[in-house]
Structure 1
Amino acid sequence: MNLITSSSNILNQLVGLIKQLSPEEYTSPLPLLMDNSISKHLRHIVEFYDCLFKGIADASINYDLRERNPSIENDPEFAINFINNCIQHLSTMELSNDPINLTTLLSPEGHEACTLTSLDRELAYNVEHAIHHMAIIKIAIKQCYPHVTLSKDFGVAYSTIKFHHQTA
């Protein structure tokens, strides 16, 4: 397995989740998530991938400047199509360690840092970032929407899964 396959697997899990939720369940603010919705966390995940894809073109990524597309958040079908487009985009990519500039906001006042990264490193980051948010989503699903079926590994770090397999 490589970073592209891992990313595609993550995104496919999100599509599977959306398909199990009603539009209201997808978009409802949940007290458990500090009045955020499943869809807000999902939008956050996929927009990081979108930022990465757009940043590759000019070798410059800034996740803080992501679009924050309300359609991903409010329309489950739009979200599914957006994610499927991300998966399609991943399928055309080739892994690379060529340098890419990464700009990160360090404070609300606008202080930034710029560092070098690569497509491979950012795909690895996006996998970990997605899993982190999926763990939060999983907590909300278990508490608020028990009819939804998630794999036991949904939102669990691969290192944790590997550790559990080794100690079983």
Structure 2
Amino acid sequence: MDDPTTAGTTTSVTACAAEQLGQVGELVGILTDDQYLHRPRGASPIAGHVRHCVDHYTAILAGAGSGTVDYDRRTRGGPVETDRDAALARLAHVRGLVGTVAPGDLKRPVEVVSVVAPDGSVARTPSTVGRELVFVAHHAVHHLAVMVPLARALGVDVPAEFGYAPATLAAGRRPGADA
């Protein structure tokens, strides 16, 4: 099996990550401020999902430089979660940073630090920048799959392909069909 972080796939790894951020940004852009902040009963608002995605991308980009990725360090309640314009600006900024990830950076080793128990126990796992960039892109797809129905329930016309994994779309499955 080919190494997913080789220079030949750099474009696809960074493009996939940027594409998912682009879809999140496009969704935020078609919402009103009230829709962005709307808290459905028993669910998180779209704003919370957006902030969570941004935090994950920020963690891998920071980890690419420091060698340590900590997805559990998050900025809850900040401007991305409370201001749609701030979210759009931050999404555009992070998407630009993803586009600057160099081919050699994808193979760079990182250590992922994760809280794995309610008592705060931590696991440390070896990975690479490329592997983690693929993870955050797929993680964003998962959150889009939650945000899209929330937006549609608010009457927003969301593009049909939003919230589907690249593998689902590549397999030729029609958006809206069973994944």
Equivalent residue for 1:4, pick from 7, 11, 14: 14
After TM superposition, give the deviation of residue 67 of structure 1 in Å: 2.5
**Aligned positions, number:** 162
User: Quick one: percent identity of the two aligned structures?
Assistant: 23
Equivalent residue for 2:28, pick from 18, 33, 36: 18
Q: TM-score, normalising length from structure 1?
A: 0.90
Q: Is residue 137 of structure 1 aligned with residue 147 of structure 2?
A: yes
Query: Counterpart of 2:120 in structure 1: which amino acid?
Result: G
Q: Could you say which residue in structure 2 is the equivalent of 1:164?
A: 172
Equivalent residue for 2:50, pick from 42, 45, 53: 42
Q: Could you say which residue in structure 2 is the equivalent of 1:107?
A: 117
Q: Could you say which residue in structure 2 is the equivalent of 1:76?
A: 84
Provide the C-alpha distance between the structure 2 equivalents of 1:55 and 1:69, rounded to a whole number of angstroms: 22
Q: Could you say which residue in structure 1 is the equivalent of 2:75?
A: 67
After TM superposition, give the deviation of residue 164 of structure 1 in Å: 3.0
Unaligned runs of 5+ in 2: 1-10, 175-179
Unaligned runs of 5+ in 1: none
Q: Could you say which residue in structure 1 is the equivalent of 2:130?
A: 120
Q: Could you say which residue in structure 1 is the equivalent of 2:107?
A: 97
Provide the C-alpha distance between the structure 2 equivalents of 1:38 and 1:67, rounded to a whole number of angstroms: 16
Question: Does the 8 Å CA contact 1:47/1:68 hold for their aligned counterparts?
Answer: no
Provide the C-alpha distance between the structure 2 equivalents of 1:55 and 1:68, rounded to a whole number of angstroms: 19
After TM superposition, give the deviation of residue 93 of structure 1 in Å: 1.2
Provide the C-alpha distance between the structure 2 equivalents of 1:55 and 1:72, rounded to a whole number of angstroms: 21
Q: Could you say which residue in structure 1 is the equivalent of 2:96?
A: 88
* 1:121-149 deviation digits (Å, cap 9, x = unpaired): 00110111000010011121222x22x22
Query: Counterpart of 1:83 in structure 2: which amino acid?
Result: L
Q: Which has the higher helix share?
A: 1
Provide the C-alpha distance between the structure 1 equivalents of 2:27 and 2:173, rounded to a whole number of angstroms: 25
Q: Structure 1 stretches (4+) deviating beyond 6 angstroms?
A: none
* 1:68-96 deviation digits (Å, cap 9, x = unpaired): 35210110110011011101111211132
